[in-house]
Amino acid sequence: MIRHIVLFTAKDKAHIDQMIEGLSVLTAIPHARRLEVARNRKTDQLGNDVDVVVYGEFDSETELTAYKEHALYQESIKRVRPLRELRFAADYNVPIGRSISMSETA
């Protein structure tokens, strides 16, 4: 399984809801096992710069690629790119049925 996490900052904080709307069209793309779009709660004691989070889970690289090639993905980019300042993305593999806890990695 692949986890896909994308973090966004808004150019103008007044546009965060509009960014969430534009990113929410991604949830209609059928290739994700799970896809969430949410406003950052901003409760971290060290940094709260991120405004919006997209979290997705995909069964394979093929599914992730199909998601990124979907017309709704392009629509989301068209709506959100003018509103965002920064975008950070990360994809990583997770064995199906097993998550690694922080204590296992330390």
**Could you list the pLDDT tens digit for every one of the 106 residues in the chain?**
999 999 999 999 999 999 999 999 999 999 999 999 999 999 998 989 999 999 999 999 999 999 999 999 999 999 999 999 999 999 999 987 665 555 555 4
pLDDT score at 95: 87
pLDDT attached to residue 99: 59
Q: What is the pTM of this model?
A: 0.87
- How much helix, strand and coil, in percent to the nearest 5, is found in the chain? 35, 30, 35
Looking at residue 52, its pLDDT comes to 98
Note the helical H segments in the chain: 16-24, 61-69, 71-80, 102-105
